[in-house]
Amino acid sequence: MQISLLDQIIEQLQIMPHPLQRQVLKFVNGLSKVIVLKGTPGCDLLQFSGTIPIDDLALMQDAIAQDCERVDLDKW
């Protein structure tokens, strides 16, 4: 049987020294604040639905199809 992700995290936390547990807690608290504060609800964006001209959407789609699948190894 596979152990759940949460159970694996708890197992690791239990064997860590207390200062590292505090560090993990601080990190997790920071992550949860980012998740809560970031972004705009989709319902607030519905007013913009249909406002981009079809021609512009086609240009965007073409640009994505041409460039987004490429990897420039010299830039890494």
As a whole number of angstroms, the distance between CA 27 and CA 30 comes to 5
Query: pLDDT tens, 11-45?
Result: 999 999 999 999 999 998 888 776 665 678 889 99
> pTM of the entire structure?
0.42
25 and 33 Cβ atoms separated by less than 8 Å: no
Confidence of residue 61 (pLDDT cuts 50, 70, 90): very high
Contact in structure between 31 and 38 (CB atoms under 8 Å) = no
Domain boundaries, the chain: 8-40
